[in-house]
Amino acid sequence: MSGATTRSYTVRLELVDEPGELLRALEPIADNGGNLLSIFHERGNLTPRGHIPVEVDLEATEAQFEVIVDALRDAGVNVIQAGAERYSEELTVVLVGHLVETDLSDTLRRFTDCGGVSVADVSLSAPAGTEGPSSARLRLVATEGQSDDALATVRTVADEKDLRVVEPLMEGSA
Amino acid sequence: MKLAILGSGAVGTSVIELAGDYGHDVVAVADSSTGAVDETGLDAEAVLSRKRERGTVGDGTPADVLAADYEALIEATPTTLGDAEPGFSHVERALERDRHVVLANKGPVAERYDDVRALEADSAGTVLFEAAVGGAIPVLSSIGDLNGQVTAARGVLNGTANFILSRMAAEGLGYEHVLAEAQDLGVAEADPTFDVEGIDAALKCVILANVLYEDTYALEDAEIEGIDDLPGSALELAAEDGRTIRLIGEVADGDVRVGPRLVPENGTLAVSGTLNIVQLETKNAGRLNISGRGAGGPETASAVLADVGRLPSPE
């Protein structure tokens, strides 16, 4: 059954900023048996060609994945990168500080720019509005063995922006 | 065994009170300015009531106590940083006289571990300090019994910080509010710096590192982050995901770190209130968890007296 083993893949796409584009990009994945894990849709951040970068994590067999990438290209979706990075380690961190003032989307982008990490989920709590300190919980998905590097990146960026990081206890959570 | 007790705070007075139950005689007691010595054994109740009523333990001086004919010195003066004085000099004086030392004071073994060990090597006396880490919890004796098998230690080592975080999580209250409540309850001191900035937990972790690695760690070798100013929203977000935040100390791979960490809400390390927990990773025995009261007079005194019982007995 080794040929049918499901793995996690990451696909980086470029979308034109028009209604329905994201759906058009996701359909070939679902239609060909891929299981969507997460979508990181960086609205507000443009590629050099003026398009919106989107990072999609999905699970599929190797054969399905090839079909999916072909189907995306057939559908006119620009696939920048498609790889069998095994995104398998999840870690949750809480950031505290002036998250909005220090540009949360830039913060998130810098986490993912270091490679090997994607932001699967963000939850923001800003009880004092955008002016005061706020907290955000992030679920990061890192390539196997990259959790430590991911945390190091989080620490560096947070340090620069004077944000506090509440890290997960990596062991001992039994 | 004949005991001399330095320090008449919560721990010192509890040792005076309980020593008799363990079959020991208290022959000398000092607080910061006075001392009492009776080599046939002091009357615990008389010393304690004098301390309560007059604020002194006797008509003598602390120097008389240091010079008394005791077998083990109980050092329970307040922990100080840097040169760890005057605790360190007390240890030195006792070891030079070939007497045993039992520390509740963290300073000497956190800040000057190699100096203490060097003095001990030249002395017929032994130094033990179970009470300095985790109060009533038998952490150091467990590590000793495991004969070098312990590879890492982590846990909740400050009851005040743990109380504040568990109350914030349970009640959705802010840090300042819960701190004030803790101060009213006597759980936090008027100046909570040592506890909420992680210094107290870090001192305990430094001691653990000294014992685990038989090396010379001091407070400056620890990476420390406190819980002060942690907003309630951080705990709320953690809770939405089935987690909570605890001030966790970690000693692993030669590093000492203390800081707020996300842990599973119902996990082993998420003890509530003022409880402490220590988790040991071992080579052959897997993971061990020991939880209990990390502070308090009788609790800490029980660890002191357990150490006294471990001292090599005279011929």
pLDDT tens digits along B76-89: 999 999 999 999 99
CB of B150 closer than 8 Å to CB of B140: no
What spatial distance separates the first Cα and last Cα of chain A, rounded to whole Å? 33
- Residue B180, token pair as written in the block: 């004030």
Residue B142's nearest CA partner among B294, B256, B272, B290 is B290
Amino acid, res. B86: P
Average pLDDT rounded to a whole number, residues B80-104: 97
Residue A128: CB partners within 8 Å, gap ≥ 6?
A134
Chain A positions touching chain B (beta carbons under 8 Å): 92-94, 96, 123, 125-127, 133-137, 139, 164, 166-169, 171-174
Average pLDDT rounded to a whole number, residues A17-42: 85
pLDDT band at A172 (very low <50, low <70, confident <90, very high): very low
CB distance B237–A173 less than 8 Å?
Answer: no
Q: Is B315 buried (19+), middle (13-18) or exposed (0-12) by CB count in 10 A?
A: exposed
Alpha-carbon distance B305 to B309, whole Å? 6
According to the model, what pLDDT value does residue A41 have? 76
Is the torsion defined by CA of B86, B89, B91, B93 positive or negative?
negative
Chain B positions touching chain A (beta carbons under 8 Å): 152, 154, 225, 230-234, 236-238, 240-241, 243, 245, 248, 250, 252, 259-264, 267-269, 279, 281, 287
pLDDT band at B8 (very low <50, low <70, confident <90, very high): very high
pLDDT tens digits along A74-128: 888 888 777 665 546 778 999 999 988 888 889 988 888 876 788 888 999 888 7
Distance (Å) of CA B243 to CA A2, A82, B39, B163, B310: 36, 33, 56, 16, 40
Residue B39: CB partners within 8 Å, gap ≥ 6?
B2, B27, B68, B69
Average pLDDT rounded to a whole number, residues A35-42: 82
Q: Report residue B103 CA to chain centroid gap.
A: 8
According to the model, what pLDDT value does residue A1 have? 38
Amino acid, res. A54: V
Alpha-carbon distance A134 to A131, whole Å? 9
CB distance A125–B233 less than 8 Å?
Answer: yes
Average pLDDT rounded to a whole number, residues A2-18: 76
Is the torsion defined by CA of B292, B294, B300, B303 positive or negative?
positive
According to the model, what pLDDT value does residue A132 have? 72
According to the model, what pLDDT value does residue A50 have? 77
Average pLDDT rounded to a whole number, residues A38-49: 75
Residue A2, pLDDT > 70, answer: no
- Nearest by CB: B260 against A123, A137, A166: A166
CB of B241 closer than 8 Å to CB of A137: yes
Distance (Å) of CA B26 to CA B3, B306, B311: 5, 15, 16
Amino acid, res. B70: Y
> What does the domain layout of chain B look like in residue ranges?
2-136+297-310, 141-293
According to the model, what pLDDT value does residue B237 have? 94
- Nearest by CB: A137 against B152, B237, B287: B237
More confident residue, A174 or A61: A61
Q: Rg of the Cα trace of chain A?
A: 17
CB of A147 closer than 8 Å to CB of A154: no
Chain B nearest-CA distance from A103, in A, is 18
Residue B141's nearest CA partner among B133, B130, B150, B151 is B130
* Residues of chain A positioned with their CB less than 8 A from the CB of B245: 94, 166
> Tell me, what's the ipTM?
0.83
Question: To which residue do tokens 């620890």 refer?
Answer: B222
CATH 3.30.360.10 fits B141-293, yes or no: yes
Highest mean pLDDT among A16-25, A126-135, B278-287: B278-287
- Nearest by CB: B264 against A136, A166, A173: A173
Question: To which residue do tokens 């599973």 refer?
Answer: B264
- Nearest by CB: B231 against A93, A96, A167: A96
Lowest-confidence range among A122-126, B56-60, B114-118, B147-151?
Answer: A122-126
Average pLDDT taken over every residue of chain A = 82
Nearest chain A alpha carbon to B279: A172
CB distance A169–B287 less than 8 Å?
Answer: no
- Homologous superfamily of domain range B2-136+297-310: NAD(P)-binding Rossmann-like Domain (3.40.50.720)
The secondary structure of residue B303, as a DSSP letter, is: H
Test mutation, B165, B237, B240, chain A, max A CBs within 10 A = B237
- Is residue B204 annotated as part of the catalytic site, yes or no? yes
What spatial distance separates the first Cα and last Cα of chain B, rounded to whole Å? 12
Over the range A132-170, which residues count as b (16 or more CB within 10 Å of their CB) and which as e?
Answer: ebbbbbbbbbbbeebbeebbebbeebbeebebbbbbbbe
Given the residues B51, B106, B204, B283, select the one marked as catalytic.
Answer: B204
Residue A66 exposure: Cα atoms within 13 Å on the Cβ side: 3
Same fold: B2-136+297-310 with B141-293:
no
pLDDT tens digits along B26-51: 999 999 999 999 999 999 999 999 99
Average pLDDT rounded to a whole number, residues A53-69: 87
pLDDT band at B16 (very low <50, low <70, confident <90, very high): very high
More confident residue, A45 or A10: A10
- HEC per residue, A31-55: HCCCEEEEEEECCCCCCCCCCEEEE
CB of A164 closer than 8 Å to CB of A95: yes
Q: Is B9 buried (19+), middle (13-18) or exposed (0-12) by CB count in 10 A?
A: middle
Domains belonging to chain A, first-starting first, are: 2-83 (3.30.70.260), 88-166 (3.30.70.260)
Beta strands A164-168; A87-97: pairing state: antiparallel
Nearest chain A alpha carbon to B268: A174
The SS3 of residue A130 is coil
pLDDT tens digits along B231-243: 999 999 999 988 9
* Residues of chain A positioned with their CB less than 8 A from the CB of B266: none
More confident residue, A171 or B103: B103
Residue A3, pLDDT > 70, answer: no
pLDDT band at A150 (very low <50, low <70, confident <90, very high): confident
Average pLDDT rounded to a whole number, residues B71-77: 97
pLDDT tens digits along B48-67: 999 999 999 999 999 999 99
Beta strands B150-156; B243-252: pairing state: antiparallel
